[in-house]
Structure 1
């Protein structure tokens, strides 16, 4: 059976259910529920939309450009929150083990994108020995264009021991929803999945199936 992001995140939630206080659990669940209820999918990028052109700074110092990524075929983009996000530290290693080997074999680039500044963002790549590209979307410029950003509510902000802007180096509470996009070689979004609840992430198999479908049409 293919390793599941859902199962891995379920294990994280089980651990929290046993180790967190009721107040901590309620705060987390309430914030996520609020995001799901308020989510407006009509405002996010859709299949068939042109992908905005971009140039992102990879944690290794190189520049990642859309035109280069799709020069010979589709590319996969994964938006995640930040290096210290527990759910991201569960999901990205699963993508490393399950998603990336297949994409690499198919010659399809994978870029994981966060607004966190590169000097802080590199921690997650080093921690899990991630082989795919990790890049910074400074100021959430690209994520805003895609309509996939949100900000924490007042209860979450008040409970935080350190302001999120200090953790990410951005100075703000703005983060992207976990999002997976497949962009075809014409620069059009061929497949997308936006999940307002950060404890739910796109399964690797769904992305692989989308990529294979696109490749067979080329």
Structure 2
């Protein structure tokens, strides 16, 4: 008699662990070291960085959806809270795990509660749209042109020399990632934003393989998994 199958979807950490295991099997020791060294350096440096925190008011930014239409933060929170999820770029392997995870575990509850979810990356719209199509994402995906909002929030990092060389060796360029000449990306970040652009909840992940789980976001909103208020 087999073991019972759990209906609980795998956590984001569990999904990332599978990716890490696959990389240990298939990557060279040098490639693994480049990836781990950058992530570990970001974790060490993060406590000394100045970045957005709960209680801060975000600037009145205007993002652009992948179809080019504008999306102002003030409009986003005009009727209540919204959730912003900053990610790196459309072909980032970890982002292609994280966004489908949020589609599966977070979006249904937010949609039921009428709370907007916007995934944000600095990549130009034409390239960023790939991840929307690939995963049939039902929530908005928008570009933060020139990393303007991400930089204002203090959530960006710069590639170290080894990471930049590895990306260039694969044919990558900074303009493909963010439309600028800077090798810079946002650290994965979740912000629950209230009317007035006030951050209720902020979680920044300096290690892009250790991101915010959906239950923590729902708890910040006072919601259960089915989108109902926990206070009800």
The one of 164, 180, 186 equivalent to 2:173 is 164
Return the offset for 1:52: 1.3
TM-score normalised by structure 1 residue count: 0.94
Q: Are 2:15 and 1:8 equivalent residues in the alignment?
A: yes
1:3–1:98 Cα contact (<8 Å) kept: no
1:82–1:88 Cα contact (<8 Å) kept: yes
Counterparts of 2:82 and 2:112, CA distance in 1: 13
The corresponding residue for 1:17 is: 24
TM-score normalised by structure 2 residue count: 0.89
Please list every run of 5 or more consecutive structure 2 residues that lacks an aligned counterpart in the other structure: 1-7, 224-228
Does the residue aligned with 1:84 lie in a helix, a strand or coil?
coil
Q: Considering only CA atoms, is the larger Rg found in Structure 1 or Structure 2?
A: 2
Q: Are 2:217 and 1:207 equivalent residues in the alignment?
A: yes
The one of 65, 74, 77 equivalent to 2:81 is 74
Counterparts of 1:174 and 1:40, CA distance in 2: 19
Return the offset for 1:3: 3.4
The corresponding residue for 2:206 is: 196
Return the offset for 1:42: 5.3
Return the offset for 1:171: 3.0
Counterparts of 2:165 and 2:57, CA distance in 1: 38
- Please provide the CA RMSD for this pair: 1.6
Counterparts of 2:114 and 2:18, CA distance in 1: 32
Write out per-residue CA displacement over residues 16-40 of structure 1, whole angstroms, 9 at most, x where no aligned residue: 0111111111111011111111113
The corresponding residue for 1:183 is: 193
Does the residue aligned with 2:94 lie in a helix, a strand or coil?
helix
- How many residues matched? 216
Counterparts of 1:72 and 1:166, CA distance in 2: 35
Counterparts of 1:93 and 1:32, CA distance in 2: 22
Return the offset for 1:209: 1.1
Q: What is the 5 A alignment of 1:137-176?
A: 137-160=144-167, 161=169, 162-168=171-177, 169-176=179-186
Q: Are 2:105 and 1:98 equivalent residues in the alignment?
A: yes
